Copies of this chain bind each other. A is one copy, B any other.
Amino acid sequence: MEIAKHTTKRDQQAEERRGQLIDVALELFSEKGWENTSIKDLAEAGGVAPGLFYHYFENKEDLLLAVFERHGFKAELEKVVFPAYERPASEVLLEVARAYFKLLDRKHRLVRIFVREAMTNPNLEERWIEQCNDTVNLLARYLAARVAAGELRPHNTQMSARMLTHPIVMLHLTGGSADELESLVQCLMEGINN
């Protein structure tokens, strides 16, 4: 006699369908960009009627937002950083740098859409800033731990975290290579002063 099960079969199916539509969108957006992907394209690729998208999403923009909602980088980076808290920065930073760079590479096209639309769409801009800050903070906390551990000298760890992650993003965006990451970490550790 349970009238309101917590998730009915139908709800499940609906949720699955929603997920499927997002996946289709991720695919096409990555290939052709957000603006160059029409709802009709999406519908065809998903094997559904165009109208259905408006059953699950308010907007084409809403759909874009939903795509990013499911594809944050934070979780993936945490997997690299969290286990490293006890290990020295001299080792860890290079690993993190490489992992981050590789992550960006893997999500290459999605990143570009993200950045692109963030330049224009306030909602997306907010998320993109959040995303960047999350990454910075994740690393900053680790660095602070290493300061506390006496490995690093006391300093503004927020900024040093930026000095690692921001160049990586820009390197990725401007076609730089992963080989340069060693220099990056070394410079960060030692500074350039004589």
0/1 string, A42-63, CB within 8 A of B gives 1: 0000000000000000000000
Asked if A184 contacts B169 (CB within 8 A), the reply is no
- Residues on B with C-beta less than 8 A from A156 are 180, 183, 186-187
Taking the closest CB of chain B, its distance from the CB of A49, in whole angstroms, is: 12
> A35 contacts the other chain (Cβ, under 8 Å)?
yes
> A193 contacts the other chain (Cβ, under 8 Å)?
yes
- Residues on B with C-beta less than 8 A from A191 are 187-193
> A120 contacts the other chain (Cβ, under 8 Å)?
yes
Taking the closest CB of chain B, its distance from the CB of A114, in whole angstroms, is: 9
Q: Which of A89, A117, A133, A193 has most chain B Cβ within 10 Å?
A: A193
Q: Give the contact stretch, choosing among A5-13, A69-77, A147-155.
A: A147-155
Chain A interfacial positions (CB closer than 8 Å to B) = 33, 35, 89-90, 112-113, 115-117, 119-120, 128-129, 132-133, 143, 150-153, 155-160, 162-163, 166-167, 169-171, 174-175, 180, 183-184, 186-194
